[in-house]
Structure 1
Amino acid sequence: MKWTQITDPLHHLGLSALVAALPIAFIFWALIIRKMKGHTVCLLTALAGMLIAIIVYGMPVKLAVLSLADGALFGLFTICWIIMGVLFLYHLTVESGQFAIIRHFMASITTDKRLQALLIAFAFGSFLEGAAGFGAPVAITAAMLTGLGFEPLYAAGICLIANTAPVAFGSIGIPITVASQVSGLPEMAISQMVGKTLPLLSLLLPFYLVFITVGFKKTWEVWPAVLVAGSSFAIVQFVTANYISPMLPDVLSGLTSIICMIVLLKYWRPGPHAPQTASGYTSLQIVRAWSPFMIMTLLVILWGVPAIKDQLNTVGQLKATIAGLHNAILRADGSPLVIKPFTFSWLANAGTAMLFAAILSIPIIGADGAMAAKAFRLTIHQLKFPALTITSVMGFAYVVNNSGMSITMALALATTGTLFPFFSPILGWLGVFLTGSDTSSNALFCKLQYNSAVAIGVDPVVTVAANVSGGVTGKMISPQSIAIAATAVGLVGKESDIFRFTAKHSFIMLAIVCILTTLQAWLIHLFHIKHIFGL
């Protein structure tokens, strides 16, 4: 028996969208006002989503339960697997004493926490996002900053906000690839438009990161570093996205920013506030301490190469069709809703690359079996509640998508007509908030973005790119991302604190993207200056 989605169950699109959005409103209320624990909020949100899907949308109970289970399995065996690899690698470096050497090395570059945040959260995090994505960069950089003495809440918040700049081109450009596949537009056209929007955010982000933590006066004290970090990143991101490939902006921009920052700090110091000191370790000791992260970076990059990834999938992949869910749902237009089989690519998963990096590092860093066992126990203990949070929120996301609730909210925004270019980034923001992934958000909404743009006479490249760019601003408040950050810094149960820290910044950056998208859409439309935008 097949069930057909209903996108306007209350026969009033605005009212239906309002009801569909109630679980999302509950998340904001519960985390910001009630300050509830993250796993409790996500469990209740999943329950609320199921009740609305069943009672309001008429979704059969069996399909709602199976959709919840499908999302939970994805969260457990894909996302949590990555976090497990990251945390095991980190704990192993701590237990072996190597992280203490890393901490001293960073202090030898600069003891200034403002500059350490730019180096690790912004530059190194962007590099990791380009190579791995899917939560790994936030987990790694937040854990590193905490290990360097950062207050855990600020470490988590800074890394989540810093992750804005690279998300659109993360995981070797997968978000752009998916946006192209769904919309039918050329990859390079989307990359070019995104590459004209995000570099502005990337240029401002280092200033913003320092400003929100220490204020304007202390930010101005390090303005050369802020300028170098942001401008080097933004320039390379712009050039790569517009003239080379959507696969490389993050890796090249992050690496360039790191190199430029290190060169600057060799000749410039931020006054008397952060004297430079010798690390006290030899070059060999420093390389040895960093070796787990070097091996991890190399393996993650190799894991991201399509040919290697395909080969790994053929060797190590578990795939199963969920009985009763596959081919059981039709869209409102009668076409089948494609529900992919549950797939656990255990060998191709970035978490496996990190586990291999940790194992290969054991003899290099002088660790032993006892240290590895302790690091693994700490990792599993640390993952208990975050795993519950992630499985709940992913289960909720699958229910929202399969029931048609997400389409209801999207259609309501699409009715804004000539104002749609302003609202189109909100769809991307919504998709990433629900799923924690810009890739998933593009798969959900890019076709709707394309059709809506054509209907109002706007170049669809603008709105499809807006879905990608708007999505990056939702990453910092996605419950999935917050759970990862909370786990990395030891704030499990305090997710509401992190959410309150990042929420307003998400809306500020979303507003900037909305304004830029509106200008792009109507300048192109009214004045026919496509050649200026490279379209």
Structure 2
Amino acid sequence: MPPYHQSPDPTGSLLLSALLALLPLVTLLFLLGGLRWKAHWAGLATLGVALVVAVAGYDMPPLLALDAGLYGMAQSLLLILWLTFNAIWIYNLTVHSGHFAVLRRAFGTLGEDIRVQSIVIAFCFGALLEALAGGGGPVAICAVMLIALGVSPLKAAALALVADTAPVAFGGMGNPITVLGEVTGLPAAEFGAVAGRQVSVLAVVVPFVLLLVADGRRGVRQAWPAALVGGISFAAAQFLTSNYLSYQLADIVAAIVSAGAILLLLRVWRPGEPVTAALLPDDRDADASGAPAPTEPAALTTTARPQAETSAPATDSRAETLRAFAPYAIIVLVFALAQFDSVKAPLKTLTWSFDWPGLTVLTAAGTPVDTEYEFAIGSATGTLLLLSGLLALPFLRVRPKDAVLVYGRTLRQFGWAILAILAVFALSYVMNLSGQITTLGVWLAGTGAFFAFLSPVVGWFGVTITGTDAGANALFGGLQTTAAQQIGADPVLLGAANSSGGVMAKMISPQNLAIGTAAVGLVGREGELFRRVFGWSLLLLLLMCTLVYLQSTPVLSWMLP
């Protein structure tokens, strides 16, 4: 099959071409938010729209367009599915062994106020998980932890999604920033320093948003000290680490510092009127079919729960508490060791790569598009999580046979969510390889100096489609720096803005919506969850757009290195 040449303007009118390229994204948002379709049906329908646009609008051969979709599905196997399966499996192991109840009681020592507990779990602990693993693990694990404390499934998923914003730019040991440096040829450390001066502002705001999501204005009025201390301490640690230590460690340091600061605060302050989960505004509403929402996540209902849990003492021994935290401590240790070259090198030997069959694509300038498929099973985040889970078995006192059975239940737990993830990854690669993504970027870059305001929007589009900040940086990082040079702006500023703007789309990305609903037992209600978080995504995006634009002017240029 001859190579396919991309065209950023297939219609001869850049505006018309941009509207054509926007059609799949608008379709996806409308089906999820407007019609409340289930994520797998919305993803498949939008994939169909993207294929039609690629073939009819961009003259991409039909077989090549389908091949691009298969390539995208294959990319999702290690990046999302393998990672998420193993992250939820570790959680399910703690439920099966009864240690999740111990973990729940340990978090309960933070006080009775569920709003403060939500900040510590979703924001601080979630940031630590994002720093180590990324992907959908933080959303899934934090959501089910909140449910165990009594938060309703829909609200728990929304809290976990909103919280997973500020740490995303440095998630997966700084992988998005590393990718940004690779695709642009500029020093990754410079991007990390500027991104740290952007998302740290976001980190101050997010805990207050969590209070609003959890308990409305009453939550802010009564629990604002915890949000303020948690947000400022996280922001300061993230800023200092990304600028003066290592951007790869920014989220790890920030998560630990923020959690520690809140724990110190609770020694001298507690909310005047503690609010338990039962006192939060009730949102256990029925779905469109009239069926009530499940009261527990699938992870809890499909995994055997030991009888001892119902009669467990109010306090646990120190040994049992340490066992409950052991899996997460092991995750930290395994991922830290995996950063050493002596460990990383042998892991990378378990990598197979090849050019994807039949997929030869050239840019408008004639440059070959990278369509290599790398099956890096040894160093994959999911593999490290699997190893962490295996190492945790003796601490949790789970037999290997039971661990296998729990893994099988974990796979069944996801169900239709697997199809949703495959469909959306196929969609992202069809849009990228056909040239639709390039069209959107070129069109936005034509706005001149105002592009500094729109620069985060480009990253937001990228994460909405790909589901990952690293994916958005791979798609748009080069375009951002090229556009910056054309309009006389700082390429490092706009490159970092691509990553910083993208983090707000994590909460509305279909992949993460599917992971969140699967984890809490609400598969099929992705559209409803989307509607709950979409407004916050836009509001935080507007904040980032304003910040980046002002950083490109003398008003806030002093914030840059």
Q: TM-score, with normalisation over the residues of structure 2?
A: 0.90
CA shift, 1:147, in A, is 2.4
Name which of 354, 358, 375 aligns with 2:385.
354
Structure 2 CA distance for aligned equivalents of residues 522 and 25 of structure 1: 32
**Is this contact kept in 2: 1:107–1:279, CA < 8 A?**
no
TM-superposed deviation, 1:300: 2.9
Contact 2:414-2:519 within 8 A present in 1 as well: no
User: Which residue of structure 2 lines up, in the alignment, with residue 158 of structure 1?
Assistant: 159
| CA distance in structure 2 between the partners assigned to 1:409 and 1:514 by the alignment | 17
Q: Quote the Cα distance in structure 2 between the aligned partners of 1:309 and 1:143.
A: 32
- The CA deviation at 1:488 is 1.4
Q: Distance in 1 between matches of 2:442 and 2:198?
A: 25
Matched, 1:460 2:491: yes
Q: Is the 8 A contact 1:110 1:274 kept in 2?
A: no
Secondary structure of the residue aligned to 1:343 is strand
Q: Distance in 1 between matches of 2:341 and 2:128?
A: 18
Q: 2:91 matched to 1:57? A: no
Pairing 1:282-293 to 2, within 5 Å after superposition: 282-293=317-328
Q: What does residue 548 of structure 2 align with? A: 517
CA contact 2:115–2:275 (8 Å) conserved in 1: no
Q: Once the 2 structures are TM-superposed, how far is the Cα of residue 19 of structure 1 from its aligned partner?
A: 1.0
Please give the per-residue CA displacement for 1:397-417, whole angstroms capped at 9, x wherever unaligned. Answer: 111110000000111111111
1:533 paired with 2:559, answer yes
Question: Residue 367 of structure 2 aligns with which residue?
Answer: 335
Deviation at 1:274, TM superposition (A): 5.5
Change (3 A) 1:460 1:281: same
Closer/same/farther in 2, CA of residues 287 and 279 from structure 1, 3 Å limit: farther
Question: Distance between the aligned counterparts of 1:474 and 1:523, measured in 2?
Answer: 28
Please state if 1:273 is matched with 2:270: no
Cα separation, 1, equivalents of 2:512 and 2:229: 28
Which of 318, 331, 335 matches 1:296? 331
Cα distance in structure 2, aligned partners of 1:77 and 1:425: 27
* CA distances 1:117-152 after superposition (whole Å, capped 9, x unpaired): 111100011111111112222222122222222111
1:484 aligns with 2:515: yes
Cα displacement string for residues 35-82 of structure 1 (whole angstroms, at most 9, x for unaligned residues): 111111101111111111011101012211111111111113431001
Aligned residues: 524
Deviates further, 430-439 or 134-143: 134-143
CA deviations on 1:202-228 (whole Å, 9 max, x unpaired) are 011111111232122332212221121
- Please tell me whether residue 426 in structure 1 is matched to residue 457 in structure 2: yes
Q: Show CA shifts across 1:224-266 (max 9, x none).
A: 2112111110111111122222111100000111112222223
1:99 alignment partner in structure 2: 100
Q: Please, which runs of 5 or more residues in structure 2 have no aligned partner?
A: 277-312
Cα distance between partner residues in 1 of 2:329 and 2:168: 22
CA distance in 2, matches of 1:76, 1:180: 24
**For residues 456-500 of structure 1, what are the alpha-carbon distances to aligned partners after superposition, in whole Å with 9 as ceiling and x for unaligned?**
121222211111111111111111111111111111111111111
CA distance in 1, matches of 2:207, 2:162: 10
Secondary structure of the structure 1 residue equivalent to 2:554: helix
- What is the CA–CA distance in structure 1 between the aligned matches of 2:266 and 2:341, rounded to whole Å? 37
Find out whether 1:226 has 2:209 as its counterpart.
no
Q: Pick from 433, 446, 464: which aligns with 2:477?
A: 446
**Alpha-carbon spacing, 1:45–1:310, altered in 2? closer, same or farther (3 Å):** farther
Structural RMSD (CA): 1.8
Paired residues of 1:96 and 1:371 also in contact (CA < 8 A) = no
Residue number in structure 1 paired with 2:286: none
Q: Percent identity?
A: 38
The 8 Å contact of residues 78 and 380 in structure 2, kept in 1 or not, is answered as no
> Structure 1 residues 150 and 301, CA, compared in 2 at 3 Å: closer, same or farther?
farther
Q: 1:504 aligns with which of 522, 531, 535?
A: 535
Are residues 40 and 305 of structure 1, via their aligned partners in 2, closer, same or farther at CA, if it must alter by over 3 Å?
Answer: farther
Aligned to 1:27: 28
- CA distance in 1 between partners of 2:57 and 2:221 (Å): 54
The match for 1:73 is 74
Residue in 1 that maps onto 2:353: 319
Q: Equivalents in 2 of 1:184, 1:352: separation in Å?
A: 29
Unaligned runs of 5+ in 1: none
Q: Where does residue 430 of structure 2 map in the other structure?
A: 399
Aligned to 1:90: 91
Distance 1:433 1:158 in 2: 18
| CA deviation vs aligned residue, 1:152-185 (integer Å, no higher than 9, x gap) | 1111111111111111111111211221222232
CA contact (8 A) 1:288 1:365 kept: yes
The whole-number CA distance in structure 2 between the counterparts of 1:322 and 1:43 is 22
Change (3 A) 1:155 1:416: same
| More displaced stretch, 513-522 vs 146-155 | 146-155
Task: Supply the distance in 2 between the matched residues of 1:274 and 1:499 (Cα, whole angstroms).
Answer: 26
Look up the equivalent residue of 2:383 and give its one-letter code.
T
CA contact (8 A) 2:356 2:371 kept: no
User: Secondary structure in 1 aligned to 2:507?
Assistant: helix
Deviation >4 Å, runs of 4+: 304-307
Which amino acid is 2:158 matched to? G
Question: What is the one-letter code of the residue matched to 1:335?
Answer: T
In structure 1, distance between residues paired with 2:340 and 2:533: 33
The change in CA–CA distance for 1:500 and 1:310 in structure 2 (over 3 A counts) is farther
Q: 1:397 to 1:265 in 2, by over 3 A?
A: same
State the match for 1:190 in structure 2.
Answer: 191
Residue 369 of structure 1 and its aligned partner are, at CA, apart by: 4.2
Structure 2 CA distance for aligned equivalents of residues 266 and 306 of structure 1: 42
Partner Cα distance (1:138, 1:297) in 2: 17
CA pair 307-29 structure 1, distance change in 2 beyond 3 A: farther
C-alpha contact 2:17 2:439 (8 A) present in aligned 1: yes
Aligned partners of 1:132 and 1:350 also within 8 Å: yes
1:378 corresponds in structure 2 to 409
Deviations 1:8-28 (A, max 9, x none): 111111111111111111111
Which amino acid is 2:524 matched to?
Answer: G
1:391/1:307 CA distance change after superposition, 3 Å:
farther
Letter in 1 for 2:367: S
Residue of structure 2 in register with 1:7 after alignment? 8
Verify: 1:216 aligned to 2:251, yes or no.
Answer: no
Contact 2:551/2:560 (<8 A) preserved: no
State the Cα distance separating 1:534 from its structure 2 match. 4.8
TM-score relative to the length of structure 1? 0.94
In the alignment, is the contact (CA less than 8 A) between 1:167 and 1:438 conserved in 2?
Answer: yes
Matched-pair contact (CA < 8 Å) for 1:156–1:489: yes
Which one is further off, 24-33 or 103-112? 103-112
**Which residue is equivalent to 1:436?**
467
Match of 1:523, SS state, is: coil
Deviations 1:87-123 (A, max 9, x none): 1111111111111111122112222210111111000
> Map of 1:69-148 to 2, 5 A cutoff?
69-148=70-149
Q: 1:329 to 1:370 in 2, by over 3 A?
A: closer
- Do the aligned residues in 2 keep the contact of 1:131 with 1:304 (CA within 8 Å)? no
Given the superposition, is the C-alpha separation of residues 264 and 279 from structure 1 closer, same or farther in structure 2, using an over 3 Å criterion?
Answer: farther
Q: Structure 2: which amino acid aligns with 1:490?
A: G
Mean CA deviation greater in 9-18 or 240-249: 240-249
- Could you tell me which amino acid in structure 2 is paired with residue 456 of structure 1? I
Cα 1:474–1:457 change in 2 (3 A) is same
